[in-house]
Structure 1
Amino acid sequence: MLSPARAYAALRRRGSSRVTALWLTGWQLLAWLLLRLEQPAWRYLLNARGLAHLEHRAPRPGDPLRYLIQGGWLLLVRPRPERGVSIRTWLRKGLAWLRRRREQQQRWLRSRLFRSLAGSVSAPRAVRSRAWWRERGRSKRRLTIWVILGLALMLALLGVTQPFDYTAQLLFVVVLWSLAMVVRRLPGRFPTLLMIVLSVLISCRYLWWRYSSTLNWNDGLDLALGLTLLLAETYSWLILLLGYVQTCWPLKRPPAPLPADTRLWPSVDLMIPTYNEPLSVVRTTVYAALGIDWPADKLNIYILDDGRRMDFRRFAEEAGVGYIARTDNRHAKAGNLNHALKQTSGELVAIFDCDHVPVRSFLQLTAGGFLQDPRLALVQTPHHFFSPDPVERNLGLFRRSPNEGELFYGLVQDGNDMWNATFFCGSCALLRRSALEEIGGIAVETVTEDAHTALRLHRRGWNSAYMRIPQAAGLATESLSAHVGQRIRWARGMAQIFRIDNPLLGKGLTLFQRLCYANAMLHFLAGVPRLVFLLAPLAFLLLHAYIIYAPAILLLLYVLPHMMHSSLTAARMQGRYRRTFWGEVYETVLAWYIARPTMVALLAPSKGAFNVTAKGGLMEQAQFDWRIARPYLVLALLNLAGLGLGVWRFIYGPAAEQGTVVVTSLWVLYNLLIIGAAVAIAAETRQVRQSPRVRMRLPATLRLPGGHLYSGVLLDYSDGGVAIRVPGVAALTTGSEVSLLLRRGEREHVFPGVVSRSHDHVLGIHFARLSREQRIDFVQCTFARADAWLDWLEPRRERPLQSLLEVFAVGGRGYARLWRFLPRRLRFACEPLLALLRWLGSFLPRWPQARTDSEQREWTAL
C-alpha cells in the first residue's frame, strides 16, 4: 500500500488543497498504524477512490460522524471474501450424499426382493407378486404422505395460533429466519417449497395476531380505520398465497416436434388486426410474417383493417397477403377477429397485434402440440418488447432490469401451464379453429376479450399450453398516460370477468384452474388496498387513531418477519423476472387510476369501452406529466405533513408513545420513497426516434463502392438503418454509398445504403432506397431471426436489500426531478428546505467509486 507521504503527494497532484490532503493523509496514517490493511476486503477499499463523498474537499465539522457512518457501512455491508467451504456448501453436499445413499438402499432392497421371488415361484406368479408388492408400496407411501401432511398441518396450525411472549416470539422468528437463510441458496425445487412454507407460516401467524390481538374495540374511529387496514392486509395475504400456488412449480414445457411429412402439418390463418396504427408499424409485422418457416400452401396471412384505409388495401395487394375489412367496428378487436374467422378456413389461427413482429420459427415451435393433443386449443408465447416502456425509459432500466410484464410472461404463465390454465393474451398465440367455433368465437362481453376467451375454452374442457421462448417482439407504450390507460383497460376487463363469469363459480374448471384465474382477476383489485397502505400511518400521526392496537416492539416482531420472509421468497422465485420491492412501485403508479374503474366494473360490469393503445409515437422534449402525477403529489404532501407532525409528537407527546411514533414515521418514510419512485416515472424523457433501435451483435460484412469487403459486427438496427463496427475500414465521409451484407440461413443478402455518421470505426448506415423485396429480406434478417430475442436481459443475481436500496435511490431521484420541473418561484421558496435535506443526505453512507485506469496507474506507480 501507499505510505502516508506518497498518499499526500498523490492527493496534491490530483488537485486537492493542502488542508484536505493533510486531513485525509492523517486518517490514512491512523488506519495504516492500527488496521490490518493487507486483508482482501481492505484492499478493495484501497483500490477505490476512497470513501466516496469524503474526498477532495476541505474538512467540515460533521466529517468525524461521516467517517464513522461510512466506515461502519463498508465494514458491515461490504461482502467479505469467502474462506474455504461455507456451511451451506457442506449442507448441500450432505443432502446429496443422503439422497444417493437412500437410492442405493432402495435399489438393493428391490433387487434382493425380486431375486428371492424369482427363485421361489414361477415366472407369471413372480410378476404378479412384484405388481402386488409395488401396489402395496404405493399404498404405504400414500398413507405415509397423508399422515405426514396431517401432522405438518397440525404443527403449522399450532405455530400460527400459539401466543408467545416477546422472548419466545423473537426466538421463533430467529429460528425460521436462520432456516430460510440456510436454504435460500440451495439448488432445486425443494428449498423453494420449504421457503414458501416458512413464508406462509410467518404470514399466517402475523394475520392471526392482527385479527386476535390488535383491534381496539373500545373506540369507534380506531376500530373503523383498523378494520380498513386489516382488510387491505387480508387481501395482500390472499394474493400472496394464491401467487405461491400459481408459481410454485413452473412447467417449462419443451416444444413438441412436428412430423417429418409436411403434408400432415395443419393449415394456418395468420391474422394481424389493426385499427388506427400507421402503416410503418404494420409493414414490419407483415414482412416478418412472410418469412415464417411453413409450407406456402398451408399459410395464409391477412390484414384485418378496422380502419378501412385504402393505403392498407394497396399495401396488402403489393405484399401478396389477404385484406379483410368490415363496415362497422362493433366489439372492437374481438369483433374484428370474429368477422375474419367467418371469412377464413384454416385449421389453426395465429393472432399477432399489428406491432408484434413474429420470428421465423413461431409455427415450428407452437404447432406440434396440436397434432399430439387433439384437445389442445391454445398455445401462447410471451409478449416481448424491443422498445422501452415509460418506466424503463424514464428510469434508464431498459435491458438492465426486467420490465413490468416480465414476471407474468416469464413465471406466472409458466406456472399456469402446470395447472392447464394458460391465459390467452390477445397476440403471439396459436389457436384451434374448431375450439373457437365451439365457444362462439372470441368473447365480446368484456374489454379483455383474450382472458375471457381462454376461460371459456377451459370451461369446455379444452387444454392450453405455454411456450416460454419469445417468438415475437413489439412496441411498448411510449408515454406514461398511454401506459396507465392500457392498464386501466386490463383492470376493468378482469373485474368484468370476475363479476359476470366468476371462475370460482360455475362448471368445467379444476380447483387449480379456478385459483389461477381468481388470482389474475383479484390482482387487478390492488388499487384500493395500495392506497390504504400509503395512507394508513397517517391515521395515527394526523388523527391519533390506533389502527394497530399493540406495542411498537411487538409490531416489529410480527411485521418485519412477515415482510422479510415474503421478500426473500419472492427473490428466490421471481428474482430473474422482477426485482424485489419493484412490484410496490408498479402498484403505486397504477393504484389511483385502477381503483375507481375496478370498483365500477364490479358493480356495473357493462360500463366501459375498449380503447386502443397508441404505438409508434414521439416525444420531442423532456417533460413532467403533471396530470398523471397529481395523485402522487397529493399523497406525498399528506405523508410529509404526517412526518412533520410525527416529529412534533415525538418531542412534545407522551413518552409512552415515542416508540409508536418512530415506527409509524419509518413507515411514512418508506411510503414517501415509494411515492417518489412513482414521481420519477412521471418525468418523461425524450423519445425522438420513430423506429426504436434494437441492440444486437450479429456478424456482418461491409462492401465499399470499389468492391472491398470488410468483416464487422452489427451493433444495432431499426427499420431505417443500422450501426456497424468495422475495425479495418478507414474513416468514411457522411453520404458515402456502401452496402451491408447479412446472412439468413445459407443465403446472403445485400442492402445498399449511405453513411449517416462515422466515429471510431463505428458507421451509421441509413437505408433510403431499398426495394420492397430488400425491405422484406432486411426484416427477416434482423427482427424475424429465430434467435432475435433470446438472452435479452443482462444476467444479474437478485439481492433483496440491494433492490430495496435501488428503489429508495429512485424515490429520491423522483423528488429531485420534481424539483427540476417546479416553477422558479416555488423552487426559490423551497431552497432552505432543500439545503437542509442536502446536508442531512451528506451523512448517508455510499459505495466507493472505482478508479479510472489512469488514476489507478498514478496511484500504484508511487
Structure 2
Amino acid sequence: MDDYFRRFEHRRPPEPLPYSSGRELVWQALATITALLGAWYIWWRWTQSLNHDALWFAVPLVVAESCAYLGLLLFIYNLWKDQPVTIPAPVATLHDTLAAGSDGLSEPDRPIAVDLFFATYNEDPELVRLGISDARAITYPHPIDIRIHVCDDGRRPEMRQVCDEQGVNYITRATNEGFKAGNLRHAMEQTSGDFIVIFDADTRPFPTILENTLGHFRDPKMAWVQTPQWFYDLPEGVTLTERLSHRLGRAGHLIGQAVERLAGEIRIGKDPFVNDAEMFYQVILRRRNRANAAFCCGAGSVHRREAVMEAALRSFAASVERRVIAAEEEITLTSREPVVDTGLLSAIRTEAVVAEVLAPYRFHVSEDIYTSILLHSDRERGWKSVLHPTYESRMLSPQDLLSWSVQRFKYAGGSLDILMNDNPLFRRGLTMPQRLMYGTTFWSYLAPLWNVVFLAAPVVYLATGIAPVSAYTLPFFLHAMAFLISLELAMMASTWGIAGYASKSSYLAFFPLGLRAIGTVLSGRKISFPVTPKDRQLGRHLRLVRPQIAVVVLTIASLLWGSAALVWADTGHSVTGVVTNALWGLNNCLAMSGIIRAAMWKPEAELTGESDQ
C-alpha cells in the first residue's frame, strides 16, 4: 500500500465556518444589489447593446450571459440564509428517536444499535484496516451497540482476513448488481441496526461521529445526517522561496523572498485539483438546511434505517403499479376489450413484482442524491435531512488528474442522468424550496454549455475584430463593471473566510468533462460506475487537458494578432475592445492554467527524488 498519507496524520480539520448575523445582513444586502444590477445589465444587453451586424456572435453570448445570470439567482437563493452552528445532545435510548404514539414505544426501551458499513471493491485491505481501527475507537456517552461491517464487493480472502483479525463482520455477495448501491442493499439485508453509517474504503471516522450526530435523530422525522468530508492529505505545496532555493540556490532564495515580501506567501502545488470541499459543505450544502434540502453525499452520512426502507418500499410499490397500468393499457388497446380479466391482471402484477428491484439505495451512479430526492419527496412522512457542520471523519483525495477526472465525470454524468430521466423539478412531493435547491445543483452541471461561449468570445473578437456588442463605450463599461464589482463584493461576504477563486477557476476549466457528460446523457449512453482510484496514477496527464491547452494557445495567438492589427491592419479592432478582451482572455488563461498545472503535478517527494537522480 502506498501510505504517503501517514505523514499527514497530525493534521486536524478546520472548525466549521462561524455564523455571523451581521455578515449575513451584509451578504443579503449586497446579493440584492447584485441581482438588481444583473437584471439591469441583462436587460440592457438584450435591448440596447447587441451588434446587429454580427448576430451570429452577439446572440449566443447574450444567451450565455442570461443562462449564467439565472444560475447566479439560484446560487443567491441557495446561499441566502445560514444557521448558527449547533451540536444537539446525544440521544440516550431508542425511544428518544421515536415519535409520540409510534409502535416502537410499546416495545421495551433499549440502547441504540448502529451499523457501520465500509463499502469496498478493489481498494487495498490495509487501507480499510485503518478505517476499521478508527471505527473501533468511536465513543458514546450512553450505552450503545456499535456493529462494524466491511461490505466487500471484491470477494477477497485478504479482506476477510483483515476483518477476522480486527474482529468485525465481513459481508460479501456473489454478484456486483447495482454496484455500491447494490452492495449497501445486500448489507442492509444482513443487518438490523436502527441507524446506518456509510463509509468509503478510505474513510477514517473520528471518535465523536456518533456522539455529535445521533442527537439530530431526536426529531423522529430526521431521515439522515450528512457530515462534511475532509481530505486530510491535500498537498500543502511549497513556497516560491523554497522552490527557487531548491532550483537556483542562494540567488533563487533571494528572488523568492523579495517577491513574497511584496505579494505575500505564494505556494506552488497547493491542492492542485481543488479538492478542498469546504466551500461545498460549509457554504453551499449547509445553507440548504433551511429548505430541508441538504442531500446525501455518501461517505460520512448517518441514516435512519426505517426511513430508507420505507421510502424504498413506497417507490417499489409505485414502480410496480406503473408497470401494471402500462401493461393494462397495452392489452386494452390491442384487444379492444374495455377491461382486463382479473386473473390476467393478477399474473401481470406478479410478474411486475418479480421484475422490479427493491433498492433502499437506488441502483444509480449517483445513488446518494437519487435516494435523497426519493426521501425528500415522501410528503406523507415528511422526512428531513441536515448537513451537520462539524467534521467527523477524514478521507483521501484524488492524487492525480486521471483519478480526479473519473470522480468528477461520475458526479456530473450521474446528476445529469437524474435531470434527464427523473427530473426532481417535476417530481411530486417536493416543496418549491427543495425544487429550487436541487435545480441549483443540476443547473450548475449545464454550465459548460455557456462557459464555452465565454471562453471563445475574446478569441473571436481578437482574431476578427468583430464585436458582440454595438460598441465598447462608456455605457457598456458602466453596466458591466457595476454588476461585476457588486458580484465580487457579494460573493466575498457570503463566503467570508473561505477562498473562492480556485473554485471559480476550476468551475470554468471543467468544461470538457462537463460537455462529455452532457453528450453521454443526451445520447442515451449509461454513465459507468468506476471506483475512484485511491492510489496515485503515475505519469503526467496532459492528454486530459488538451482542450484547456487549446484555449490558452488560441487566446494568446489571437491576442498577439489583435494587438498587431491595431497598428498594422484595418480590421475593425479598437483600443478599448482589444484591452477589454485581452483582460478577459488572460483571465480565462489563468483559470485554465490551474488544471494544466494539475496534469503535470507530482508530489514534492517525487519531484525531490527526480532531482536527486
Q: What TM-score, normalized by structure 1, do the two folds share?
A: 0.55
C-alpha spacing 1:553/1:524, structure 2 compared with 1 (3 Å): same
Please report how far the alpha carbon of residue 230 of structure 1 lies from its aligned counterpart in structure 2 after TM superposition: 1.7
Which residue does the alignment assign to 1:319? Answer: 166
Q: Secondary structure at the match of 2:151?
A: strand
Which range moved further: 639-648 or 334-343?
639-648
The question of whether the paired residues in 2 share the 8 Å contact of 1:404 and 1:578 is answered with: no
Do structure 1's residue 677 and structure 2's residue 594 form an aligned pair? yes
Instruction: Tell me the number of residue pairs that the alignment of Structure 1 and Structure 2 aligns.
Output: 497
C-alpha spacing 1:206/1:392, structure 2 compared with 1 (3 Å): farther
Which residue does the alignment assign to 2:583? Answer: 666
Please report how far the alpha carbon of residue 668 of structure 1 lies from its aligned counterpart in structure 2 after TM superposition: 2.0
Which residue does the alignment assign to 1:430? Answer: 302
The question of whether the paired residues in 1 share the 8 Å contact of 2:419 and 2:442 is answered with: yes
Which residue does the alignment assign to 2:16? Answer: none
Q: Secondary structure at the match of 2:115?
A: strand
Which residue does the alignment assign to 1:538? Answer: 459
Paired residue type of 1:332: F
Do structure 1's residue 615 and structure 2's residue 462 form an aligned pair? no
Which range moved further: 447-456 or 556-565?
556-565
Aligned partners of 1:618 and 1:641: how far apart in 2?
33
Aligned partners of 2:580 and 2:127: how far apart in 1?
52
Which residue does the alignment assign to 2:228? Answer: 382
Q: Secondary structure at the match of 1:572?
A: helix
Please report how far the alpha carbon of residue 228 of structure 1 lies from its aligned counterpart in structure 2 after TM superposition: 1.6
Aligned partners of 2:523 and 2:503: how far apart in 1?
27
Which residue does the alignment assign to 1:251? Answer: 83
Aligned partners of 1:545 and 1:504: how far apart in 2?
39
Q: Secondary structure at the match of 2:463?
A: helix
Equivalent of 2:516 in 575, 592, 596: 596
C-alpha spacing 1:312/1:199, structure 2 compared with 1 (3 Å): same
CA RMSD, Structure 1 to Structure 2 (Å): 2.7
C-alpha spacing 1:291/1:186, structure 2 compared with 1 (3 Å): closer
Equivalent of 2:25 in 181, 185, 190: 190
Please report how far the alpha carbon of residue 656 of structure 1 lies from its aligned counterpart in structure 2 after TM superposition: 7.8
C-alpha spacing 1:431/1:656, structure 2 compared with 1 (3 Å): closer
Which residue does the alignment assign to 2:251? Answer: none
C-alpha spacing 1:588/1:399, structure 2 compared with 1 (3 Å): closer
Please report how far the alpha carbon of residue 484 of structure 1 lies from its aligned counterpart in structure 2 after TM superposition: 1.6
> Which runs of structure 2 are paired with 1:394-413 in the superposition (5 Å)?
396=268, 398=270, 403-413=275-285
In structure 1, the gaps of 5 or more residues are 1-184, 690-819, 821-862
C-alpha spacing 1:567/1:297, structure 2 compared with 1 (3 Å): closer
> Which runs of structure 2 are paired with 1:510-521 in the superposition (5 Å)?
510-521=431-442
Which residue does the alignment assign to 1:634? Answer: 550
Please report how far the alpha carbon of residue 560 of structure 1 lies from its aligned counterpart in structure 2 after TM superposition: 1.8
Q: Percent identity?
A: 29
Q: Secondary structure at the match of 1:439?
A: helix
C-alpha spacing 1:473/1:656, structure 2 compared with 1 (3 Å): closer
Do structure 1's residue 223 and structure 2's residue 55 form an aligned pair? yes
Q: Could you report, residue by residue, the CA deviation over 1:524-545 in whole angstroms, capped at 9, with x for unpaired residues? A: 2222222221111122222343
Please report how far the alpha carbon of residue 442 of structure 1 lies from its aligned counterpart in structure 2 after TM superposition: 3.9
C-alpha spacing 1:292/1:364, structure 2 compared with 1 (3 Å): same
Equivalent of 1:206 in 2, 25, 41: 41
Q: Could you report, residue by residue, the CA deviation over 1:332-373 in whole angstroms, capped at 9, with x for unpaired residues? A: 111100111111111111101111100111111111221x21
The question of whether the paired residues in 2 share the 8 Å contact of 1:302 and 1:324 is answered with: yes
C-alpha spacing 1:653/1:678, structure 2 compared with 1 (3 Å): farther
Aligned partners of 1:413 and 1:424: how far apart in 2?
10
Equivalent of 2:293 in 403, 412, 421: 421
Q: Secondary structure at the match of 2:514?
A: helix
Paired residue type of 1:375: K
Aligned partners of 2:160 and 2:276: how far apart in 1?
36
In structure 2, the gaps of 5 or more residues are 1-19, 95-108, 244-266, 313-358
Please report how far the alpha carbon of residue 608 of structure 1 lies from its aligned counterpart in structure 2 after TM superposition: 1.6
Please report how far the alpha carbon of residue 611 of structure 1 lies from its aligned counterpart in structure 2 after TM superposition: 0.8
Please report how far the alpha carbon of residue 603 of structure 1 lies from its aligned counterpart in structure 2 after TM superposition: 4.9
Equivalent of 1:525 in 422, 436, 446: 446
Which residue does the alignment assign to 2:321? Answer: none
Please report how far the alpha carbon of residue 575 of structure 1 lies from its aligned counterpart in structure 2 after TM superposition: 3.3
Equivalent of 1:334 in 175, 178, 181: 181
Which residue does the alignment assign to 2:14? Answer: none
Aligned partners of 1:516 and 1:650: how far apart in 2?
47
Q: Could you report, residue by residue, the CA deviation over 1:267-308 in whole angstroms, capped at 9, with x for unpaired residues? A: 111100000000121011000111111467611110000000
Paired residue type of 1:592: P
The question of whether the paired residues in 2 share the 8 Å contact of 1:402 and 1:577 is answered with: no
Q: Could you report, residue by residue, the CA deviation over 1:470-527 in whole angstroms, capped at 9, with x for unpaired residues? A: 0000100110111122101100011011112212112111111111111011112222
Q: Secondary structure at the match of 1:639?
A: helix
The question of whether the paired residues in 2 share the 8 Å contact of 1:390 and 1:479 is answered with: no
Q: Secondary structure at the match of 1:469?
A: coil
Aligned partners of 2:551 and 2:273: how far apart in 1?
27
Which range moved further: 386-395 or 197-206?
386-395
Paired residue type of 1:675: M
Q: Could you report, residue by residue, the CA deviation over 1:232-256 in whole angstroms, capped at 9, with x for unpaired residues? A: 2122111211111111211245222
The question of whether the paired residues in 1 share the 8 Å contact of 2:139 and 2:211 is answered with: yes
Q: Secondary structure at the match of 1:187?
A: helix
Aligned partners of 1:448 and 1:265: how far apart in 2?
33
Which residue does the alignment assign to 1:686? Answer: 603
Please report how far the alpha carbon of residue 391 of structure 1 lies from its aligned counterpart in structure 2 after TM superposition: 9.5
Aligned partners of 1:391 and 1:210: how far apart in 2?
43
C-alpha spacing 1:402/1:669, structure 2 compared with 1 (3 Å): closer
Q: Could you report, residue by residue, the CA deviation over 1:746-773 in whole angstroms, capped at 9, with x for unpaired residues? A: xxxxxxxxxxxxxxxxxxxxxxxxxxxx
Q: Could you report, residue by residue, the CA deviation over 1:808-830 in whole angstroms, capped at 9, with x for unpaired residues? A: xxxxxxxxxxxx9xxxxxxxxxx
Equivalent of 2:497 in 559, 570, 576: 576
Q: Could you report, residue by residue, the CA deviation over 1:99-155 in whole angstroms, capped at 9, with x for unpaired residues? A: xxxxxxxxxxxxxxxxxxxxxxxxxxxxxxxxxxxxxxxxxxxxxxxxxxxxxxxxx
Equivalent of 1:271 in 117, 126, 142: 117
Which residue does the alignment assign to 2:66? Answer: 234
Pick 1 or 2: higher relative contact order, CA cutoff 8 A, min separation 6: 2
The question of whether the paired residues in 2 share the 8 Å contact of 1:303 and 1:321 is answered with: yes
C-alpha spacing 1:349/1:259, structure 2 compared with 1 (3 Å): closer
> Which runs of structure 2 are paired with 1:654-803 in the superposition (5 Å)?
657-686=574-603
C-alpha spacing 1:655/1:292, structure 2 compared with 1 (3 Å): closer
Paired residue type of 1:584: K
The question of whether the paired residues in 2 share the 8 Å contact of 1:256 and 1:366 is answered with: yes
The question of whether the paired residues in 1 share the 8 Å contact of 2:465 and 2:562 is answered with: no
Paired residue type of 1:362: I
Paired residue type of 1:356: T
Q: Secondary structure at the match of 1:273?
A: strand
Equivalent of 1:645 in 543, 557, 561: 561
The question of whether the paired residues in 1 share the 8 Å contact of 2:520 and 2:527 is answered with: no
Please report how far the alpha carbon of residue 429 of structure 1 lies from its aligned counterpart in structure 2 after TM superposition: 0.7
Please report how far the alpha carbon of residue 562 of structure 1 lies from its aligned counterpart in structure 2 after TM superposition: 1.7
The question of whether the paired residues in 2 share the 8 Å contact of 1:256 and 1:369 is answered with: yes
Please report how far the alpha carbon of residue 628 of structure 1 lies from its aligned counterpart in structure 2 after TM superposition: 1.9
Paired residue type of 1:478: Q
Between structure 1 and structure 2, the one with the greater Rg is: 1
Aligned partners of 1:442 and 1:282: how far apart in 2?
24
Paired residue type of 2:73: L
Paired residue type of 1:614: P
Q: Could you report, residue by residue, the CA deviation over 1:197-241 in whole angstroms, capped at 9, with x for unpaired residues? A: 111111111111111122234x4xx21222221222122111211
Do structure 1's residue 462 and structure 2's residue 383 form an aligned pair? yes
Which residue does the alignment assign to 2:507? Answer: 587
C-alpha spacing 1:231/1:347, structure 2 compared with 1 (3 Å): same
Q: Secondary structure at the match of 1:267?
A: strand
Q: Could you report, residue by residue, the CA deviation over 1:19-68 in whole angstroms, capped at 9, with x for unpaired residues? A: xxxxxxxxxxxxxxxxxxxxxxxxxxxxxxxxxxxxxxxxxxxxxxxxxx
The question of whether the paired residues in 1 share the 8 Å contact of 2:24 and 2:82 is answered with: no
C-alpha spacing 1:252/1:392, structure 2 compared with 1 (3 Å): farther
Please report how far the alpha carbon of residue 555 of structure 1 lies from its aligned counterpart in structure 2 after TM superposition: 2.2
